[in-house]
Structure 1
Amino acid sequence: MKTLLITNSVFNCNEGDANSTAGSDVQLTLLESLNLNNELKVDVLDCSESGSVNFGGDYQNKIKGLKVGGYLRRIMPVTVLNALLYLYKNKPNLIVKYNLYIQQLVAIIIYRLLFNVKVIVVVQDYRKGKSFTVRQRLSDKLCIQLLRFTDYCLPITDYISDEIPLHKGRKKIYSGGVTRACENLILHKKNIMKKQAVFAGYLSEYNGLDVIVNFWLENDIKIKLVIYGDGPLKSFVENSQRKCEYIVYRGKVNQKVVMEEIQRSNFYFCLRYSKGIDSRYFYPSKFFIGLYSSSVLLYNRFECLLSDFDLDYPFVLDESFSGLANLLNSDDESLINNLAEEQQNILKNHKSWVQVLSESIKETYEL
């Protein structure tokens, strides 16, 4: 069965930076998961504005870009027509779409209505909140309504699922899980750990970086807080590291470097707050990277936290990070190892992308 994965993000899975890890990793995992199905012949259509999606290795040969580039890609009728021509020429039987992008979604729906192909949409992000422009918010809201004309959806949270106008048999909530990065972490576990904590991602309030840094500044924490990434809090972080010798900012670096640092660190932060975004509509994908690493994942009880992971301290931090200083400063290595092992045990019943996509494709053709 001829299958087309439609991607959007501009990234390099081999040389990505700390900001692009989540989207890059999920899209490559989608491709690898589809490729594991022997019944599917998979190609990739790159719909990003710059047309520079880079999976690396043998997968790069599978990628086809739209023929128009630059400013023309921002003109909706041009992009829709261009995508339609590509679809008509290549005639896929199944289309798997990553995320909400109005131009590609309109083209896919028109093609589906004309040629009765199957369409599955993975909804990883739904832009809500002041951090996004009115245009972005309206675009995603329209996309959500257009999903009624698709066959099957995989929303990342139950809040997104509730807004998708499809009955329950045509959508399945999947908050993420075993991605390529997670598998690499499992295969390359480190025995020698660094007594430090890592934050990697977009330097923003909705990721809780200001809360973490202030905790270091206001408490007598004697281990390093290593920070990777870029964003609006960059100046705040740079100023903070001058005040505290235990705060280390390393900027944007190669994704491989970040993963190795996480794997060698005792602690890894993954927080999410509704500051500029509506956190109910965003599941932090790096949450699973932390769980699959050798580190102890420190996270808050964010809006869409899965019930399996809604645990007591020290896993879930309260608003004041009660008791965290003692844990961070602890010299008890067995305690830290036991906590990391306990977290990974929770994951045993969590499905992988391979399983979820296979089930979704099967259910799509049974509709």
Structure 2
Amino acid sequence: MKKIPLLDLKAQLDTIREDIYAAVHRVLESGHYIIGPEVKAFEEEVAAYIGVKHAIGVANGTDALQLALHAAGIGPGDEVITTPFTFFATAETVSQLGAVPVFVDVDPKTCNIDVDQIRSKINERTKAIIPVHIFGQPANMDEIMAIAKEHGLFVLEDAAQAMGSEFKGVRIGGLGHAATFSFFPTKNLGGYGDGGMVVTNDDELARKIRILRVHGSNPKYYHSMIGYNSRLDELQAAMLRIKLRHLDAWNDARREKAALYDELLKDVPVVTPHHAENRKHIYHLYIIQAEERDELMEHLKQHGIASGVYYPVPLHLQEVYKELGYKEGDLPVAEYLSKRTFALPLYPELPEEDIRFIVQTIRDFYAGKQ
């Protein structure tokens, strides 16, 4: 039976293997493995790519969120508005600082935070907004920044899934007061282990994050803050530098394959991703909606096709947040999407014939139900 994975990282490595091995060898021979020349160069290259003044490499995308919020002064008693339709780290980091995540429902088309509902959640305790550029499509940053300016709020873009995407021609990461990226292996720009980054144009915020990532010290052994041990490895930085050169081409390939899915699925009873105006969607995941999701996913599995649910339980209904008082029905769009959305295989090297086979398998599923 043909096997089609959700993502094939080995196929990507095969296209850059010699460069990756050379980068690893260079670092091993250097004898410098933590925050050295490779990290510095990668930070400079990402800052130039995004179009911001500062990029600070950290251990992972979750730490990037926490360090950025910490540096912005978010703490006990504060409220941070965000989406319930995202990976847990978005809200987890707010809670770890003693602040409270306040969830706003999402737009049914883009799955991003519904900007029309943000104002109703703002009060004197509100200090920040975290929009998530979910699945690689930017949130409505014009409206979010306008609301933030009106109320004096800090905006942290959770861009873990959106490296290379654009809003009105501006690269994501340069629109909020700061933004965070994840280099988890499955991301569009993924390492061979964990890694993360904070980007910002704010000099003082960048200074604090650089101190926080090394136990709150500057210089070494002189501590001005209670910090973290959150440093990007030289090995990861060296390999990510190689991958960054290919990112735009890989994202373009994802967009082309997503367009083929769109075309082939247009008369199939599923909902394909909505591509909002003035946004460059880079399809970290190709997410469709189906009323018979679980049954359809099982059918695909029986034919050797992998798929995945992102996310089965919205954050406001997670057990750990019971004390916040949310109940089923409070954020109906996120709840609706959590029961119907799932990802089909999508990666730059995915053969066109595999996409056609996947779509035909979906067609066969619905033909069998008639």
**TM-score computed with the length of structure 2 as normaliser:** 0.29
| Larger relative contact order (CA 8 Å, sep ≥ 6) | 2
